[in-house]
A = this chain, B = another copy of it.
Amino acid sequence: MTGGAIVLLSGGLDSATALAIAQQHHQPVYALSFRYGQRHDAELLAAQRVAARMNVHEHRIIDIDLAQLGGSSLTDPAMAVPDAPSEGIPNTYVPARNTVFLSYGLAYAEVTGASAIYLGINAVDYSGYPDCRPEFVTAYQNLVNVATRATVTGSTIRVEAPLLDLTKADIIRQGIALGVDYGITVSCYQADEAGTACGVCDSCRLRHQGFVDAGVEDPTPYR
């Protein structure tokens, strides 16, 4: 155990797995979620279920005003969420989302004295998003190394993306080995409040294929 850790927890499959991994290495573990203008609360309800089930030390939900800036189908009701793979960067991309989320994670790490920030981005989840690439994580680490009180006084805060190079199937196998209950997580872009998934959006298709590839029964409730 190497001090506390912050985990960015969306309520999805990946961040729940990142949380389980963080708990193998850190104590206490703090979860941080964001209300950023998502179309529904299904994600945040799932994050609360996951945080409670996995006994995090503290779970904070931060209200952030990204929707005011627009630019994404995930926060703008006037834009349609695509139900087929997109060319290039899909319109579900929220401008600078992971940059903003990590910045709050950094503030929370400074206040709590945590030594790491975990986020559940991975190669499959990349989906064309610029802020889900390995070079993004490296650049953010280099920023953290000069940006905080901790780094001025000689300590470090590590940015950990333990799923970065894993396939969805590998992530699921690892999470199941650590006891993650994927039935309470929500990955769907269009889930309803009960967490029931659409089964057709990009995120649903990637997730279901992961269970197929892992040879594990998919516990996701679909409409």
Contact = CB atoms under 8 A, between A and B. Distances in A.
A130 B142 contact: no
A212 interface: no
Interface stretch (A78-86, A99-107, A180-188, A202-210): A99-107
B139 A110 contact: no
A99 B103 contact: yes
A135 B146 contact: yes
Determine chain A's interface SS by DSSP, over half rule.
helix
Interface size range on A against B = 35 or more
A96 B110 CA distance: 8
Interface of A: 60, 62-66, 68-71, 88-89, 93-100, 102-104, 106-108, 110-111, 130-131, 133, 135-136, 139-140, 142-143, 145-149, 151-153
| Identical copies of this chain, number | 2
Contacts of A153: 88-89
A88 B99 CA distance: 28
B68 A62 contact: yes
Nearest to A108: B69
B69 A95 contact: no
Nearest to A89: B149
21 contacts: A62-B65, A62-B69, A70-B111, A71-B110, A88-B153, A95-B110, A95-B111, A96-B106, A96-B147, A96-B148, A98-B147, A99-B103, A99-B107, A102-B103, A130-B147, A130-B149, A130-B152, A133-B146, A136-B146, A139-B147, A142-B142
